[in-house]
A and B are shown apart, each in its own frame.
Chain A
Amino acid sequence: MSITLKDQAAIVGIGQTEFSKNSGRSDLQLACEAVSAAIDDAGIEPSDVDGMTTFSMDLTDDIEVARAVGIGSLTFQSQIPHGGGAALGVLHQAAMAVATGAAKYVVCYRDLNGRSGQRYSEGVSGDLITSDSIHWSWYIPSGLMTPTSWVALVTQRYMHDTGTTSADLAQVAVSTRKHAVTNPNAIFYERPITLEDHQGSRMIVDPLRLYDCCLETDGACACIVTTPERARDLAQKPALIRGVAQGSGADQESMTSFYRDDITALPELGIVANQIYAQSGLTPDDIDAAILYDAFTSIVLFQLEAYGFCKRGEAKDFVKNGNIEVGGRLPVNTHGGQLSEAYIHGMNGVNEGVRLIRGTSVNQPEKSDHVLVTAGVGVPSSAMILGKMD
């Protein structure tokens, strides 16, 4: 059965600010006021909103609006490119989201200080103050200015709370490297490392060492998505998307969600996990292999817990004894991951997930009927479960 968007969605609330030549306040505040007014007009609560969509040209990040307005978790986020062409693109996104159950209430918004701030009549110029530039400025003056540093701050607390050690992180690095060693496409093809190599590698941001960090790579990845009906007639054995979801947690920042009671809880991952398991009807026990986003070793541990493969604090034991290598309970990052194959922002992992379903990975496990593929950690995230078609 195919869905069309005919009669699938309705607009139930509208909101706006006054229009002026000088608002006297930030783009972010304008967005908050308009979103807040639309929520009131609809007669819903901020916490009912679970989807947000805006223009890629907007200076205000959705999660900054969410934090300020008191919107909690999100299960749908998008941005549409190309300026004014996005105006109904955001409605299209919202309609698809509610029609498919990706979200229940989606807010579409656009804020502009188009006269007192960035004037489009002047073309693209100048240093823009965006909600993003303000966000990073709470960290950059102190020197906390790299992805390694943001993840290290959370990792330090996680290690303190769970008793995880740097040697435990090394296990992730070594297991992942083993997979790259047999992958001719991997940057670290035929170059194994030992636990000692990891422990001897230099500190980048204490507690994270060089071998806790992913590669920096030039490259590109792409994939084609179509319906299962069309897939049957095409060249390759299809990898069926059994479930796919986005998630943003309450009080979410991009990489710096440092203001939650438990900074290591990463609720956005749980929001994603619950959705993909519910959509697919599968459980962690059904997952045969996983492509876990590995910009850093520690976030592999976070995800093993968040996606339900072990209990909180037990990932350090789960990764031992080859358990995340081919032949273990859950082969993880059979391509060598972003630690050792290439760092293409998770999209090389998508391709490896497809190869695992096709049975064409260079490190093909005996069974790979269901493969989990995840995305970045510390940010609003996403994941999918791939399976085979009957």
Chain B
Amino acid sequence: MPNAALEEAFAPFVGQDFGPPEIARDPVNEAMIRQWCDAMGDANPIHWDAEAAAKTHHGGIVAPPTMLQAWILPGVRLADPDRPPSDKQEELHALFNQHGYTGVVATDCEFEFERYLRVGDRVTAKATIESISEEKATALGIGYFVVTRTRFENQDGELVGSMVFRVLKFKPSQPPQQASSGDAAPAKPQRIPAPRGHDNGWWWEALDRGELMIQKCSQCGTLRHPPRPMCHACRSVDWEEQPSAGTGSVHSYVIMHHPPVPGYDFPVAVALVDLDEGTRIVANVVDCPFEDIHIGMKVECSIEELGGVKLPVFRATS
């Protein structure tokens, strides 16, 4: 049942600016850009290496576009819960709170970028309450989606970019749970283990016992990996397990950066290893700086738990 009183009260907010434009406290500057790049791991030299940036079509250092909002963020004064609303957005949220819609969660944020910011530019931001949805039933509780749009301009009034931010103001369907010291820590994400079937389960079971195995044809002795039910050389379905010495060399390798996957702690190195027995295996290389990994590098295997899964891992042979 929509809340008619609330809807009548919030209708006049739609289309209103938060208040006067927010003016950046500092002009675009190299120090803030560098801190941002350090924090975000942004290694693109157009943001911090004046010499390199000068050689690009930018002609000098430019700010990372995604940093746009950072220039106008007002700081921790927002964090005081007893402070009266200081702009239209806060008034709107206070109105929702009065009606019991005390929960707030940001659902999504979209940026559009028009031009790069250069050192010395000064950003002005004008935020508007763009729309408020009908009442929606969500997993968190019933609520309304509030969409705001912020236009960012430079000192010449040129559009730099815009941000559309959507929050859900909702009536919590359950009271928030109090964290207590007795609660178990939330489960840490784990790596994805292999499904175990007829043809591969034995190999993982050997690994669970701490042994790296290679499948060997009982009839002709041909080794094969990954395991499969028939010998490609003689078509025998009889086979046995042979322990591997776990020594070999890197045939090729990659460094996984993106997209991050829970449980894997990217970046990680993955190598295709030529085992000395003659088969190949894909596995992680650990305890080796990425820049030192190379094709032909001698490695040796140990069996360790990574992300909750027992796996073969390789280290450079000392």
Q: What residues make up the interface of A, taking CB atoms closer than 8 Å to B?
A: 24-26, 28-29, 32-33, 36, 46, 64, 67-70, 127, 129, 133-135, 137-146, 149, 152-154, 156-157, 160, 194, 196, 200, 202-207, 251, 256, 258-259, 263
Contact = CB atoms under 8 A, between A and B. Distances in A.
Nearest to B279: A259
Contacts of B309: 141
Interface string B262-296: 00101110101000000110111000001000010
Given A196-B56, A258-B272, A152 B228 contact: no
17 contacts: A25-B198, A26-B199, A32-B237, A68-B230, A134-B194, A138-B194, A141-B311, A143-B268, A153-B254, A196-B56, A200-B45, A202-B43, A203-B255, A205-B255, A207-B254, A251-B232, A263-B251
B253 interface: yes
Nearest to B46: A200
A7 to B, nearest CB: 33
The 5 closest A-B pairs by CB, nearest first: A137-B194, A29-B229, A206-B255, A26-B198, A157-B252
B257 interface: yes
A33 B252 CA distance: 34
Given A70-B235, A138-B194, A142-B268, 4 more contacts: A67-B232, A137-B194, A137-B200, A200-B44
Interface of B: 43-46, 55-57, 191-200, 225-226, 228-233, 235, 237, 251-259, 261, 264, 266-268, 270, 272, 279-280, 282-284, 290, 295, 306, 309, 311
Given A129-B197, A157-B251, A202 B257 contact: yes
Nearest to B256: A143
B238 to A, nearest CB: 12
Contact of A143 (B46, B198, B232, B284): B284
A370 to B, nearest CB: 35
Contacts of A160: 252, 295
A144 B229 contact: no
User: Which of A134, A154, A258 is the most central at the interface, judged by chain B CB atoms within 10 Å of its CB?
Assistant: A134
Contact of A259 (B191, B268, B280): B280
A236 B19 CA distance: 60
B270 A142 contact: yes
Nearest to B226: A138
A256 B281 CA distance: 11
Tell me the interface secondary structure of chain B in the complex. Answer: loop
B237 A134 contact: no
Contacts of B230: 29, 32-33, 36, 68-70
A137 B311 CA distance: 12
A143 B197 CA distance: 21
A194 B194 contact: no
Contacts of B282: 138-139, 142, 144, 256, 258
Contact of A144 (B57, B256, B290, B306): B256
A174 B196 CA distance: 44
B191 to A, nearest CB: 6
Nearest to A145: B261
Contacts of B57: 194, 196
Given A133-B195, A152-B254, A70 B270 contact: no
A69 B236 CA distance: 9
Nearest to A133: B195
A334 B283 CA distance: 39
Contacts of B233: 70
A25 B231 CA distance: 15
Contact of A28 (B56, B195, B228, B270): B228
A24 B199 CA distance: 11
B270 A149 contact: yes
B272 A153 contact: yes
A206 B228 contact: no
B256 to A, nearest CB: 5
Contact of B229 (A26, A137, A146, A206): A26
B194 A144 contact: no
Contact of A141 (B46, B192, B253): B192
User: Which of B46, B198, B200, B225 is the most central at the interface, judged by chain A CB atoms within 10 Å of its CB?
Assistant: B198
A64 B270 CA distance: 24
Given A153-B270, A258-B272, A28 B254 contact: no
A146 B261 CA distance: 11
A205 B195 contact: no
A206 B199 contact: no
B199 A142 contact: no
B283 A149 contact: no
Contacts of B225: 259
A157 B258 CA distance: 20
